Structure 1
């Protein structure tokens, strides 16, 4: 075996090779770098390792053996003995002189962007409250979580996806006469498929050179904030909104204006701002759908101010009833809307593919920013597979199938939570994969209810995580990732929780 000891340094002090080797080995043993039970190299191997005679190695080993630092076992080798505590004072002083203390590295002087990132990371850590089995009375029951979780492909969708992956693998292995590198803005086939899909389902007219593929919608949003926001620019965010958008804007130095909402979503104002983030198809997290008149008002505001609108269409693929209103991008005539979409919810969570549809000049800037982070496009196999999946019609069939499944789960959830209407005011919605509710009591009662529910093995997402300013206690219940039976069991546990603490809640009110 190879070992590393301070032989060259001790040789400068002791000059004789066997003495230098003895002190180097002794130091390694006493400082713990050669741990108790370590098998030392044979005398032949150690001699070759350090370019000394085998006799010098044997002499050093004999000295260590005589002083009890090692033990020699015939036929097995030489082993480090267990040592007591630390070096004698004199030896420790000598070693300290030989190894002067290394100055502690200074805390790096981060840029303003880096400092904001670290501050946001500290804030994010405050919301990380994983629930362990020891937090519960009945830990043998599996936890039922209404927090967003992995959604997977099943049945015919899974079969079709595997077929698309196999075909994509063959595509990418074919030799090509074209020496042009893979485009940073994404697979040409997939960008064409996206244009066809949003044209048919969302009424958006776009060309492939207006589409930039990213590793999820958040990468697109983060890069866009870096491209469009100057220090202290006024940026309008819905309140509440997705916390990732808040972090991206804050890290880029934007000054956030928290815009008010009502039952119909964002309330248009004459904001003094250059950028607006909005989720008109289904406001996140409340689920409100922005009416057409408000959409038109927002577009007029952007045109008059020369402002950008980033439209995050995160899960409007799944609609239970009614006709979807055209997205802002489909109504935009001034080319001031950037449309951001994702496949993480419509396909499966680990498929980190999102996209932005934007004016060609801005698409070129976004591509240049992506090139800085990803000189080679990621997930080329998945991109080509998704292109095939969409072009063959499998994506549309998958959406229809999953809409039926999610609608059924939503109906079960809506039916089961009726007895909890005395606790929550539920926001009704005709699309999306989560339900939003406002707690009817005070903050102390809400947190007591949340903590008690953990003991019954059920959790959900506290919507306070999305509030830019203090607001009433509220909750998000995701249902797409769990079965109907789990939904029934989860709501049953919520009712049990309420029954067990109802009197206490009333006393606190």
Structure 2
């Protein structure tokens, strides 16, 4: 005699199997799915049904028997007790559960912020450019695309210019392991030190960041101005909640990172797209008090904002009393020349908030971002962060990174990765020329960064067809339409930095072949 109970749900809540079985059976009795007089399976049968030992089933039955939910008769079996025999307290629980299940009270609605988040997510799914991340997973591609390849198509592994996993290798990996080991001892020794467990972040790491940006970016800052978060996007989301009121106008580059757009919209901000040219954002006298900008390397186009425009934007902020949030997401990787000073280094009125991240410069799973802010705003950001993270996240990794930077390992690691990424970029450029992809794209020239950006030369419909055809040939890239606030010409991002040189060349070759087969 089979019965169905919510055992799988219960086992997620209660670690011991006999306790989970007890709660699942009790729930079935209280909600009426196991009606009065129902004969329960024997301990052997129920154990077989749910993959348990007979001992676990016996313990659960004993608990139910002791609390008056079931009765057992020798030679007859075990039964759910008759309604009339339930104790007054048990009957009250049963009746209460029955009434609640039949007449549930309406749940309160989401907040305005919560409703916006859901609406934004639905709009993304409904948009013509939305493709779920799972659609690009290796498993999905293997099942849904390789099976569709014809005999003339490439049958080897998928080459993805969409994204990649950054990992530490060689001396960098050895040095990081050493830093982690030392950090573990630090954290254990300072377990009772409240100064180490500050929400603002590890003090050693904040000091190291100040030294690093002072040396490499020309930014003067103190540890009190640095706030560490779980990635740069958490910094940006918290800043949006702190600085944006309902219906506030916010200036945002078009195109830009879509996560920033969602954060602004969720807070009730009204986005005013700022157009770009080959040099980046075009300064105007915007009627707003908040600007998001990526001057070091515009995302996704890769253009670098000239000094004159940087000074123009700072003058606008001074005259308007506006905040500027400067996202310096991958400025560590530059192939030639000295980078122009960031806005934060040129700022003499403390209106620029500088946001950086270690996820690209170290490794992908190191979710650490930071902001350098005026002291008053740093206090506000710390207070907002305390709501989400009352204890600092990744304490071990924060201290390890501090040691990694203090010992000079971080700088040596960046030099090594710059050499590697420069070599891969040169291979990418050469392959584009060898296979004449200039016929298909206008390429944004750059001397830094981890991806190449290009705009499509042909009809938009052909771009969509080619993307699908290239996928069947075993190569994908990132459609930059997802970054456009106002739709423009089709464009693409090719993230080359994580691919071996042989795969870069093979990927470009497949792109060319997939286009030729369409002609």
Tell me, which stretches of 5 or more residues in structure 2 are unaligned?
A: 1-17, 81-96
* 1:24 pairs with one of 38, 44, 58: 38
Q: Which residue of 1 aligns with 2:452?
A: 435
* 2:77 pairs with one of 61, 70, 81: 61
Cα distance, 1:470 vs. partner? 1.0
* 2:432 pairs with one of 408, 414, 417: 417
Tell me, which stretches of 5 or more residues in structure 1 are unaligned?
A: 13-19, 65-97, 504-509
With over 3 angstroms needed to count, the CA separation of the structure-2 counterparts of 1:106 and 1:205, relative to structure 1, is same
Cα distance, 1:21 vs. partner? 10
Moved over 4 A (4+): 1-10, 32-49, 98-101, 103-108, 175-181
Cα distance, 1:25 vs. partner? 2.4
Q: Which residue of 1 aligns with 2:202?
A: 187
Q: Which residue of 2 aligns with 1:458?
A: 475
Q: Which residue of 2 aligns with 1:127?
A: 131
* Distance in 2 (alpha carbons) for counterparts of 1:409 and 1:7: 60
Q: Which residue of 2 aligns with 1:247?
A: 262
Q: Which residue of 2 aligns with 1:494?
A: 511
Q: Which residue of 2 aligns with 1:173?
A: 188
2:492 counterpart of 1:478: no
TM-score relative to the length of structure 1:
0.83
* Distance in 2 (alpha carbons) for counterparts of 1:433 and 1:6: 57
Q: Which residue of 2 aligns with 1:362?
A: 377
Say whether the 8 Å CA contact 1:164–1:388 is kept in structure 2. yes
* Distance in 1 (alpha carbons) for counterparts of 2:193 and 2:311: 45
1:163-192 deviation per Cα after TM superposition (whole angstroms, max 9, x unaligned)? 111111111112577454611110111000
Name whichever of 384-393 and 108-117 sits farther off: 108-117
* Distance in 2 (alpha carbons) for counterparts of 1:208 and 1:255: 33
With over 3 angstroms needed to count, the CA separation of the structure-2 counterparts of 1:139 and 1:103, relative to structure 1, is farther
With over 3 angstroms needed to count, the CA separation of the structure-2 counterparts of 1:377 and 1:499, relative to structure 1, is same
Q: Which residue of 2 aligns with 1:72?
A: none
| Largest Rg, 1 or 2 | 1
Q: Which residue of 2 aligns with 1:86?
A: none
CA RMSD of aligned residues (A): 3.1
Cα distance, 1:326 vs. partner? 0.4
Q: Which residue of 2 aligns with 1:219?
A: 234
With over 3 angstroms needed to count, the CA separation of the structure-2 counterparts of 1:103 and 1:150, relative to structure 1, is farther
Say which SS state the counterpart of residue 37 (structure 2) adopts: helix
Say whether the 8 Å CA contact 2:328–2:354 is kept in structure 1. yes
Cα distance, 1:39 vs. partner? 8.3
Say which SS state the counterpart of residue 110 (structure 1) adopts: coil
Say whether the 8 Å CA contact 2:283–2:312 is kept in structure 1. yes
Say whether the 8 Å CA contact 1:443–1:472 is kept in structure 2. yes
* Distance in 1 (alpha carbons) for counterparts of 2:107 and 2:79: 45
* Distance in 1 (alpha carbons) for counterparts of 2:162 and 2:454: 14
Say whether the 8 Å CA contact 2:479–2:492 is kept in structure 1. yes
Say whether the 8 Å CA contact 1:316–1:431 is kept in structure 2. yes
2:350 counterpart of 1:346: no
Cα distance, 1:106 vs. partner? 4.3
Cα distance, 1:123 vs. partner? 3.0
* Distance in 1 (alpha carbons) for counterparts of 2:515 and 2:78: 76
TM-score relative to the length of structure 2:
0.82
* Distance in 1 (alpha carbons) for counterparts of 2:123 and 2:162: 20
Say which SS state the counterpart of residue 334 (structure 1) adopts: coil
Q: Which residue of 1 aligns with 2:15?
A: none
Say whether the 8 Å CA contact 1:7–1:24 is kept in structure 2. no
Name whichever of 347-356 and 131-140 sits farther off: 131-140
1:354-393 superposed matches below 5 A: 354-393=369-408
1:400-421 deviation per Cα after TM superposition (whole angstroms, max 9, x unaligned)? 0000000000000000012110
* Distance in 2 (alpha carbons) for counterparts of 1:25 and 1:40: 20
* Distance in 2 (alpha carbons) for counterparts of 1:37 and 1:373: 39
Say which SS state the counterpart of residue 460 (structure 1) adopts: strand
* Distance in 1 (alpha carbons) for counterparts of 2:323 and 2:482: 26
